Amino acid sequence: MSRLDYVIVLAAGEGARMKSVSTPKVMHTIAGRSLISHVLSAVEKLSPTQIRVVVGANREQVESHLQEIAPTAVSIFQERRGGTGHAVQIALADTSATGTVLIVAGDTPLLSSQTLRQVVDAHTKGGFAATVLTAELPDPTGYGRIIRADDGELLRIVEERDAAEFERDIEEINSGVYVFDLAKLRSAISKITDSNSQHELYLTDVVQILRKAGERVVPILTPDFVEILGVNDRVQLAECAAIMRDQINDLHMRAGVTLIDPTTTWIDASVTLAADAVIHPGTALSGTTSIATEAVIGPRTTLIDCEVLAGAKVIESYCRGAVIGENASVGPFTYLRPGTVLGSETRAGSFVEMKNAQLGFGSKAPHLSYLGDVTIGEGSNIGAATIFANYDGENKHHTEIGDHVRIGSDSVIVAPVSIGDGAYTAAGSVITEDVPAGAIGVGRAKQRNVLGWVMRRRPDSLSARAAAQSESETPANSPTSTSEKGKPTP
């Protein structure tokens, strides 16, 4: 494997065609990573001695991002955007190192480390002064064209805006990936001029200078032009995202994961899936999400930074920062927020929201409930429409629920409280005090019926008519015609 001394990543462009008011071009994302993160991930696998990133537009944002994703990379600021040649000049200005340098663009997220390694190895083995990765595009519009010499070596690269009509018909284009002998690059790049339509220093002009000096410059044609596609606008961003989606999905399917509809399944590059996991259509898996074997996800489910253990099922739900235990069931229409931990055999059913909630083995919240800041033991059941009132307007409070507890439907659990093992709460209760083990907590007012209220207060309503009809059909001694004391209601 050939030694690689330097990598220079060109990331100073304005990205005007992205039409973004806040995000630098190289920080737009596909498959969960920024464009430049994909590029750096590829070049880091080549183990270069040093990576240098030339930044310009939105310098502070890009440099801060680099500290997160590649803290050992060296940032070089290009204050005046003077072209690719100028960017490389300033990247080399403070070093006299020799060896081999790889130059790539920061907006080419589909580049693979395998292709880059092949180019570096071919360059080193051939002892060339420069090696350029090229591709043949069905529509080469916008790219610099490759002009070959009679011997097949690279004669020059002409930018489209400077190309003659016949040169624009050439389909072989410059990918923007170069490998140079450092000493020869440093000598040649000092001789380039801005005598072109853009009045910029083109790195591509180095090719002609090296050729005139008798050096060998070779093009290497990649068989897959997709790898070299760059991102200059939102359309190209979406195109590259779709290509990467297909690449990621293909790898997972070949590793034993079932994707029912790969075209509607979006999986970040950082996600891990085990063999025999099943992913249904309309699913998005992001961040550090991991899916264990025989788990079933989707349809129409989003998981962000979640851990799903073996055999779990998550259907039509949105989950972030949650752990979903073995054979647990989630959904449909469930919202799991950070800090939620579902134990094995648990259930978070339809229209349930959980935040910082832990459910022990076999516990369930089947439907229509909010569980916030609560720890629940084994085998407990949370009745429908239960609310854990965990926030007093300033602070969050915690609730402890024991094993085999039954929370009645429409209960409000006002934290902080503790409900002991085997305890019950009556349906419709507001629980503000601890409930001992084996007890039932009842926190509701006694019901009072005011008879005749509708006929008096809503005499012309359909309800009054229905009530009058019902009363006319009720025997005089029926208990519905008197108050609870047995006297007519006034």
DSSP state of 88: H
DSSP strand pairing (272-273 vs 430-431) = unpaired
| Phi, psi for 241 (deg, rounded to 5) | -65, -40
Beta bridge partners of 273: 291
Residue 367 is a catalytic residue: yes
DSSP strand pairing (33-34 vs 29-30) = antiparallel
Instruction: Evaluate whether 62 touches 19 at the Cβ level (below 8 Å).
Output: no
Distance CA 444, CA 426 (A): 9
Amino acid at 68: E
Instruction: Evaluate whether 303 touches 289 at the Cβ level (below 8 Å).
Output: yes
| Phi, psi for 238 (deg, rounded to 5) | -65, -40
Instruction: State whether residue 55 is helix, strand or coil.
Output: strand
Q: Name the active-site residue from 367, 397, 398, 404.
A: 367
Distance CA 340, CA 324 (A): 8
For residues 261-280, one letter each, b for 16 or more C-beta atoms within 10 angstroms of the residue's C-beta and e for the rest, the string is ebebbbbbbebebbeebbbb
Residue 16 CA: distances (Å) to CA of 162, 193, 436, 490: 21, 25, 66, 79
Distance CA 279, CA 295 (A): 8
Instruction: Evaluate whether 364 touches 349 at the Cβ level (below 8 Å).
Output: yes
Annotated active-site positions, please? 367
